[in-house]
Structure 1
């Protein structure tokens, strides 16, 4: 009996340059965008993906699944950069679901990342329930606020910074020139932050078209301290809404806002809330412990409209991951790490002090038993070991071990990833 076309073996491989249009159509289809591949989008992706690992699954010559990964640096607790395998553009055609396609693509990529020496893999999960089975755990949270500007309590007659700094408009060329250095300062101090390559800046200043909609130039503003040093910048757009009574009801939506000092952050938010006709500011993706509400005379004017998991992490090397971060307390902890994929499991002794940490394989009895995905959730310090134990997501093998682990692993500030990728 001849096999039907739908039963033919799926071909998994890196795509060729000639297949990039078909691959782009598959990506757009997977994300429910118009299933087209405009020439300019394909050309810009060819530039931006030059250093990426772009693969797909093909059925009878047609691309039915997409996968891309690329080199990334992720900031660990304490500021050390960790080599990561960043995963993006993951889709499976609705005609080919439940056939193990994503499992094969993910396994191939994570195995290669482990062999390259990447410490972790990262992704932003469109759906919550997919990636835990591959060893990923949610490691950071993002929060978005909506600011009711009239209620915020700011003086409408004073829009400038409260210090001797200043805010100026900038064009795309200036942002590309001064933005990378500012982001480097930010990400070195922010656990969970990632690096931004030149293509990130090009895509957000109109030089590359990588996403579903065509570029529309936003407003760019830059904050400089009294000594002229750039300490913050923001990109935002505004709509054009008016009431029946001819009253402005416009919203300023922040694309991104970067600040390396509280003064710069305060000045930029106050500026955004002072623009004529703007009655609401949508903040974009912020850290859940962002200072924003407390920069306003009335913090209740900032209402949370989105709060959800954001950066997901997959540990590929337990020893290097735990040694890369810092610890505020001293203590020893034996972890039994379960990894069904066989990439990072084992029993490990973490011996940590504020001056440094060592992590080694051990035969000592375990204090905690947990899946590699739960270790990823704990690694950046945002989740409580006690909470996971109460939920049954890890097992305490020694009484009091969860409390001791929390003292080691939790951090005073929450990790945050400012970016989508």
Structure 2
């Protein structure tokens, strides 16, 4: 019997969720509360399932998102999530069929790009996605930092205040929007995001442990930073505390707020180590201490992937580090965004249009997605054979335009 791939109905949400849990190695048992929660944010029209003899064996969902481009513009994105194929039905082209339907619909809607967090690296390049942001996690050995153990608060007139979950639901969204206005790679957080991440909504049936919340207020009283962390309880044989603070999020809109929150975490009694959570690879945290070697990298990986659907809109949406022109030959095996495009960038903006001029640089749409947020080097990609120079020096020109002084960062998983 042929496998039916299509949008689900409301009556199929339970079976679809069971298939999703199976794919992600979670319990296939779905409680009434979990089912009600899933229905509350699932749009059946953008939720696909593959059905074999009536049983859901693959899942796929997308939702509307805005992504911050270099320079602060908000770009319409098709956020892809909840992708799974049951182990009994792998290698049958089910993901390819669901992805093709979703990207085609996104293109028709006018979405500029699609985005996702890749659970596995080899899967998504063949659909035109490229890794556009990376994350790094550090572990801080607090006694080695060289910080003054008598530190009791910021010296800049600001202050650190403990708050609770209700305060975060009030203060957090406005603070995050300030960050999102300037930080390339950040994505929208809706009201439900804040409710889930402060424990008001129990998601996926996972147990909730209330964290600690602290905010940094500048000298004028403005909340410029927020940290959310939990701590374990570990004691040595001689009764000495050996606890670790684990940060789940730290957002700051000023260097003063960032410095104060990291110093605060390292000043807490009994805390000997701090796990930073997923930060941008060029995060300031390591260099905030008198001894930067106190922070060692314990994790590093690609994070958010981007798939361009409208090359002209994507290249015109961002700003560029310099002025110049470049003709790009973009290959797209799926026929969604390929072509030859002339990019002209200045300090006042950029224009991009299809052209018949000779190409300076040839690349796949996945590589252009990797370059779009400014994190990767076209010269590096050319050395790897993933970008081809049609004119000598074109890769260096691309780097002069696309590369950014600070790396993009997506603090969320979706």
Give TM-score, length-normalised by structure 1. Answer: 0.96
| Contact kept in structure 1, 2:244 and 2:273, CA below 8 Å | yes
CA distance in 1, matches of 2:9, 2:408: 38
| Contact kept in structure 2, 1:52 and 1:69, CA below 8 Å | no
Residue 209 (structure 1) shift: 2.2
1:259 and 2:265 correspond: no
2:243 matched residue in structure 1: 250
1:115 and 2:108 correspond: yes
CA distance in 2, matches of 1:213, 1:19: 22
1:389 matched residue in structure 2: 382
1:3 matched residue in structure 2: none
1:143 and 2:156 correspond: no
Aligned partner of residue 189 in structure 1, secondary structure? coil
Give TM-score, length-normalised by structure 2. Answer: 0.98
Aligned partner of residue 193 in structure 1, secondary structure? coil
1:353 matched residue in structure 2: 346
CA distance in 1, matches of 2:152, 2:10: 51
Runs of 4 or more above 3 Å deviation: none
Structure 2 segments unaligned to the other structure (5+ residues): none
1:222 and 2:215 correspond: yes
| 1:188 maps to which of 168, 178, 181 | 181
| Contact kept in structure 2, 1:28 and 1:212, CA below 8 Å | no
| 2:6 maps to which of 13, 36, 55 | 13
Deviates more, 1:215-224 or 1:313-322: 215-224
| Contact kept in structure 2, 1:323 and 1:357, CA below 8 Å | yes
1:167 and 2:152 correspond: no
| Contact kept in structure 1, 2:7 and 2:45, CA below 8 Å | no
Residue 238 (structure 1) shift: 0.9
Residue correspondences, number = 414
Residue 52 (structure 1) shift: 7.6
Residue 50 (structure 1) shift: 4.9
CA distance in 2, matches of 1:137, 1:89: 18
CA distance in 2, matches of 1:31, 1:399: 46
| Matching of residues 1-400 of structure 1 within 5 Å | 8-50=1-43, 53-211=46-204, 213-400=206-393
CA distance in 1, matches of 2:186, 2:408: 8
Structure 1 segments unaligned to the other structure (5+ residues): 1-7
CA distance in 2, matches of 1:156, 1:97: 55
| Contact kept in structure 2, 1:22 and 1:37, CA below 8 Å | no
Residue 241 (structure 1) shift: 1.1
CA distance in 2, matches of 1:17, 1:296: 53
CA distance in 1, matches of 2:145, 2:366: 41
Deviates more, 1:401-410 or 1:388-397: 401-410
